[in-house]
Homo-oligomer: A and B are copies of this chain.
Amino acid sequence: MASLGPNEPLIGVPGSRARLDTPALCLDLDAFERNIAAMAALCRDRGVALRPHAKTHKSLKIAAAQIAAGAVGVCCATIGEAEVMVRGGIKGVHVTSPQVTASKIARVIALAGSPHAGFTVVVDDPENLAALDGAARAAGIVLDILVDYAAGHHRTGAATEEDVLLLARAAAAAPGLRFRGIQSYSGNLQHIAERAERVAKAKARLAILAGLVERLRRDGIPVEIVTGSGTGTHDVDAEARVFTEMQTGSYIFMDVDYHRALKDGRNVPPFETALFVQAAVVSRNGAKIPGGYVTTDAGLKSFATEGPKPEVLSGAPEGSLYAYMGDEHGKLLLPPGSAVPALGARIELMTPHCDPTVNLYDAYHVLRGDTLIDIWPVDARGKR
Contact = CB atoms under 8 A, between A and B. Distances in A.
A97 B384 contact: no
Interface stretch (A66-74, A155-163, A216-224, A366-374): A155-163
A285 interface: yes
A238 interface: no
A271 to B, nearest CB: 20
B158 A55 contact: no
Highest count of chain B CB atoms <10 Å: which of A7, A99, A155, A381: A155
A245 interface: no
- Interface residues of A: mostly helix, strand, loop or mixed? loop
A153 to B, nearest CB: 9
A107 B384 CA distance: 33
A55 B6 contact: no
Nearest to A378: B382
Given A280-B101, A282-B98, A301 B154 contact: no
A327 B295 CA distance: 29
B155 A300 contact: no
Contacts of A286: 154, 159
8 contacts: A20-B103, A55-B327, A97-B329, A100-B344, A125-B343, A155-B283, A155-B326, A301-B359
Interface string A73-95: 00001100000000000000000
Interface in A152-176: 154-160, 163
A283 B101 CA distance: 11
A22 interface: yes
A20 B301 CA distance: 26
A362 interface: yes
Given A21-B103, A155-B283, 6 more contacts: A19-B103, A22-B101, A97-B328, A98-B283, A156-B329, A160-B288
Interface of A: 6-7, 19-23, 55, 77-78, 97-104, 107, 124-125, 127-128, 150, 154-160, 163, 187, 280-286, 288-289, 295, 297, 300-302, 304-306, 324-329, 331, 343-344, 353, 355-356, 359-362, 381-382, 384
Contacts of A100: 280-283, 343-344
Contact of A159 (B7, B154, B289): B289
A23 B80 CA distance: 11
B297 A384 contact: yes
Given A103-B6, A127-B343, A384 B23 contact: yes
A286 B108 CA distance: 24
B344 A283 contact: no
A316 to B, nearest CB: 16
A288 B327 contact: no
Contacts of A281: 100
Contacts of A22: 101, 103, 384
